[in-house]
Structures are given as structure tokens and as C-alpha cells.
Amino acid sequence: MVDTTNSAKKAKKIMIVDDDPFCTQLVKMMLESLGQQVDSATNGKEGVGMYQKNCKGYKLILMDFHMPEVDGFEATKQIRTLEKYLGMQVPVIGLTGDDVKQNPDIESKAMEVGMNQVMTKPVNIQFLQQIVSEFDY
């Protein structure tokens, strides 16, 4: 029997929201090598807009903390507010070059705005694989 529910889920994309094109390209390549389809946005405003247009098309969002216009914290807040009306919730993984150990407050801030987890840069493929399998539901 063909599990259409599952194959529909598999077709969902992962969104990378980051103002650093080098990081975006690297993470995109790693995710594609894991068989994932990827979309990217260069700031929080663009990312929220993309999610708003196609909220069912994404299974996971990787969200940089610091970006121009709308940062990752504000963008995640906006996504969570939007989702109250949509009745759904996409996992948001915070991405940061900040030293989380030196600055534990920034991780609490990420959780407060509704991020599910925080990943520190440089991103490695093992961690991405773990995130993909953990949140691929």
C-alpha cells in the first residue's frame, strides 16, 4: 500500500533564512545531499512572507539569529502568531554564530520566541541529519 500521507510529507521543503550567502549555500548543499529540497530567504521579513504564502510546503525552518530588517527572533514570533490562526506549527531551528555557552541568555530568548532548538555555526552535516530525522514528521 502506498502511504500518500508520508510521501506528501517527504515532498515538503526546508527553508533556510540567513543573511550570510556563504552559510546558506553550504547548508543548502548539505541538506540536498541528505535528499532534502531547500528554499532560502535572506532576512526574516522574506522568510515570514514565504511561509505565509505556502505554510504547508515547509517541514522545517532554519533561522539565523542576526539579520537586517527582521531578525530571527522577530521572524519566529511572527510565524508563531500566524500559526495561531493556521492551527499548525512548523519546527524552527535557530542558527547562530554566537557563543551560546558564553551567552546562555540568547538561547533562552530563542526558546521564548518559539524556536524548538538552537544550532551553532559552523553547521555540520551530522547535526543536520539529526535535525532532519528528528523533525521530519
- Per CB under 5 A, residues contacting Mg ion are 19, 64, 66-67
Closest among 92, 98, 89 to 122, alpha carbons compared: 98
State in angstroms the smallest separation of the CB of 1 from Mg ion.
45
User: Alpha-carbon torsion 97, 103, 108, 109, what sign?
Assistant: negative
Q: Is 119 helix (H, G, I), strand (E, B) or coil?
A: strand
- How many angstroms separate the CA atoms of 55 and 98, rounded? 29
Helices (H), 34-103: 44-53, 72-86
Between residues 21 and 104, which has the closer beta carbon with respect to Mg ion?
21
Q: To the nearest whole angstrom, how small is the minimum distance from the Cβ of residue 43 to Mg ion? A: 9
* C-beta of residue 113 within 8 angstroms of C-beta of residue 77: yes
Query: Nearest distance from residue 27's CB to Mg ion, in Å?
Result: 12
The residue (of 12 and 66) whose beta carbon lies closer to Mg ion is 66
As a whole number of angstroms, the distance between CA 137 and CA 19 comes to 27
Q: Give 44 or 91: the residue with its C-beta nearer to Mg ion.
A: 44
Q: 19 or 46: whose CB is closer to Mg ion?
A: 19
Q: How far is the CB of 21 from Mg ion (least distance, A)?
A: 10
